[in-house]
Amino acid sequence: MTVLDDARAMADDLADLRHRLHRRPEIGLRLQQTQRTVLEALDGLDLEISTGIELGSVTAVVRGSNGQAREGVVLLRADMDALPVHEEVDVPFRSTVDGAMHACGHDLHTAMLVGAARLLHGQRDKLPGDVVLMFQPGEEGYDGARRMIDEGVLGAAGRPADAAFALHVMPNMFPRGRVASRRGALMAASDGLFVTVHGAGGHGSSPHLTRDPIPATCEMVLALQTAVNRSIDAFAPVVVTVGSLHAGTRRNIIPETASFEATVRTFDRSIRRQVRDITQQVCRGVAEAHGLDVDIEYLEE
């Protein structure tokens, strides 16, 4: 039997695990049910398993037994958390949790790492070193990786990991069974831009007696696209996407505040700094032109 044969033999079981995870998505850092499901899936394997102190993580170490001196440590990582998205696809394993869904493939990542754990455990007599399995919560904006690092995941094998590997499924880009990579940065930095515009509210029939934050906020959203396109080299990949926009309660009331949130994706550290400065400069400039105040929070994740 080859490793590929072993993998094919467990395919149905891993698909079932993925479906169970998909039915019960959890958001954030304390993924109690997901953590329990992972621990059950690893039960019976000769692994050194520990769970998070302040978060619902799972760390497992596969000890290689090929040779007396262990040659190195490799870390494999998978994220486990879901997104605050309501699932509308009608499949047998659809989410049973309103407002939560595994819309980004983390259920599949988790099932794959369980599969890797089983394969490596079966081949541990051939491993010259150790493998750390990192089941991470809080990938979607909760800084889960750093929290696991703070709790010692990189030294779980008793010495620092020499290399770390993670992957992300891309069903809309590559056919099943194909793995792709490249030199340099592969996944973009994902920063957050949070903007709140402060004005003076009033009645919609008398806008001249107010300081309306809505037009200024809309102008910021549009100006960000132009500013980035005209300030950054066209050959440097940059994406600024506003995914959340909020203002007001009724159609005839001008609100006191308006706000939006954007994600900023970059691959280069210098470009990242430029975009950080440009986005804030644009928002402050628009606010000043409208005689409004603005609060800006830029989070580098």
Residue spans per domain, the chain: 3-166, 189-299
Q: What is the pLDDT of residue 222?
A: 96
Residue 161 vs residues 75, 105, 131, 136, 156: alpha-carbon distances, Å: 6, 26, 9, 16, 8
| Long-range contacts at 125-128 (CB < 8 A, ≥ 24 apart) | 125/65, 125/66, 126/64, 126/66, 127/62, 127/63, 127/64, 127/65, 127/66, 128/64, 128/66, 128/67, 128/70, 128/71, 128/72
Burial class (CB in 10 A: 0-12, 13-18, 19+), 188: middle
Residue 230 vs residues 106, 224, 238: alpha-carbon distances, Å: 36, 10, 12
| Level-2 CATH architecture, domain 3-166 | 3-Layer(aba) Sandwich (3.40)
Give pTM, 2 decimals.
0.80
Digitized pLDDT (tens) for each residue of the chain, 301 residues in all: 788 888 889 999 999 999 999 999 999 999 999 999 999 999 999 999 999 998 999 999 999 876 555 678 999 999 999 999 999 988 999 999 999 999 999 999 999 999 999 999 998 888 889 999 999 999 988 889 999 999 999 999 999 999 999 989 988 888 888 888 888 888 888 899 999 999 999 999 999 999 999 999 999 999 999 999 999 998 999 999 999 999 999 999 999 999 999 999 999 999 999 999 999 999 999 999 999 999 999 998 7
**d(Cα 274, Cα 28) in Å, to the nearest integer?**
30
User: 3-state DSSP: the chain helix, strand, coil percent, rounded to 5?
Assistant: 35, 25, 40
Burial class (CB in 10 A: 0-12, 13-18, 19+), 158: exposed
Strands in 14-167 per DSSP E: 48-51, 58-63, 73-79, 130-136, 163-166
Sheet hosting strand 189-198, strand order edge to edge: 238-247, 257-266, 189-198, 293-299
Q: List beta partners, residue 51.
A: 58
**d(Cα 106, Cα 101) in Å, to the nearest integer?**
10
Given a contact cutoff of 8 angstroms between Cβ atoms, the answer to whether 100 and 82 are in contact is yes
Residue range 189-299, CATH number = 3.30.70.360
